[in-house]
Structure 1
């Protein structure tokens, strides 16, 4: 264990799998006290093997639940927002219900958690908020990612707005924009695409490989730590050259 986050308290959403899980584990290994949340309680239970014992089921679409858990947890130094859903299709495949669900989970969930945890951060005059966005929608268009890209562009704009409003009050807010990362969710989409699905995802990465959740978590640790104390309002691409 290193001490890059020693003495800090972190709150993480979507921590049962993928990028959220990797970030929660990386924070803990760097000395932070981590409170991990997700709707998948079985996945949360496995975090105990990684030294994370503070866990709770949380639906990030439930405003009352988010406010209640923020009251329970109290002040945190780090807020990592990773909840999200990848809708497949063009505008012709996106119903009003698809649009509302995607924005509710991918963008409004971050509005909820930031609004809930920010007041105590402001009282302490310190806090780092890290939002998981995407290269898609922020830096580049991707086929069949219509509403997903719209939500992730909204996350980047939300991030800059929070950063600008509280830049002089000890609060930093940044977002991470990954390329294609090998997560359970991504592997499920690859399988659904057919026998050549995984190869298709790999082929669009200039480096010839997928990213790993741990690589994204390494950037999250930097943004959560005091090492990045002069960095705020930035959308950080980590995509293996996909947006070049």
Structure 2
């Protein structure tokens, strides 16, 4: 079903990867481009954004890179303005930027708490603040927010700021969806489970296996009912569906992509 996003402009915030391989945002940006969208790839790391753009252009797609810290209001306003200057519209916004820091309420510092909440939650507030008026003027649009099953279930690791921020994504998304439903704007959240992406390596390796990344991956695979973690492409395909017109009557919902992990404990 090629061309599911033909004629659309998609802004992916967090479109780079935090390490070698495929992160969720990088995979989503490339997949959206393969389905006909023109991409505006935002990342705090300009080299990561440019890498994603280079892949898209090599495959014959159209994309532009933008460096921005999505937790800073001025930088978000500037990136949306540049997207409009470049493409004239924003049809789909995927909020993928996120960080993870380990620690419970005693172990985590106040600075760590603020940093994770700013990056994981405040960034969505700021992007929606600036993109929703654009979508309203256009007469429609789609927002896909990446949450996590950590927001609704314990995953065995104490990371209170991460789980709190990801849990808060859900009422935030519902509120946007309901306020803007009559204006042709949809908003949904994706809840990935245990995923094998570059993001997990540094924050989690010591929590699982004393720094042994291979053993950490084995242990996380074993937690999953399928016997294996998902990857960035599993999240990207879910995002593609929600961003496409196939999901035109789906808004305010939560799509769990976790290989059955939450069902195991429900």
Specify the TM-score bucket, using the shorter chain as the normaliser.
Answer: over 0.9
**1:209-244, Cα deviation, whole Å (9 max, x unpaired):** 010101110010000000000000111100011101
Q: CA deviation at 1:53?
A: 3.4
Q: CA deviation at 1:190?
A: 4.8
Q: Output the CA distance in 1 between the equivalents of 2:196 and 2:146.
A: 15
Q: CA deviation at 1:160?
A: 0.4
Q: CA deviation at 1:91?
A: 1.5
Matched, 1:227 2:246: yes
Matched, 1:60 2:70: yes
Task: Give the counterpart of 2:226 among 207, 218, 221.
Answer: 207
Partner in structure 2 of residue 81 of structure 1 = 95
Matches within 5 A, 1:93-172: 93-138=107-152, 140-142=153-155, 143-172=157-186
Structure 2: tracts of 5 or more residues without a match: 18-22
Matched, 1:243 2:262: yes
Matched, 1:31 2:36: yes
Q: Output the CA distance in 2 between the equivalents of 1:190 and 1:199.
A: 13
Q: Output the CA distance in 1 between the equivalents of 2:76 and 2:27.
A: 22
Using the size of structure 1 for normalisation, the TM-score is 0.95
CA contact (8 A) 1:190 1:198 kept: no
SS in 2 for 1:111: helix
Using the size of structure 2 for normalisation, the TM-score is 0.88
For the aligned residues, what is the CA RMSD? 1.4
CA contact (8 A) 1:137 1:149 kept: yes
Q: Output the CA distance in 2 between the equivalents of 1:188 and 1:150.
A: 20
SS in 1 for 2:42: strand
SS in 1 for 2:173: helix
Q: Output the CA distance in 2 between the equivalents of 1:14 and 1:76.
A: 16
Q: CA deviation at 1:134?
A: 0.2
In the alignment of these two chains, the number of paired residues is: 243
Matched, 1:181 2:200: no
Structure 1: tracts of 5 or more residues without a match: none
Q: Output the CA distance in 1 between the equivalents of 2:124 and 2:35.
A: 24
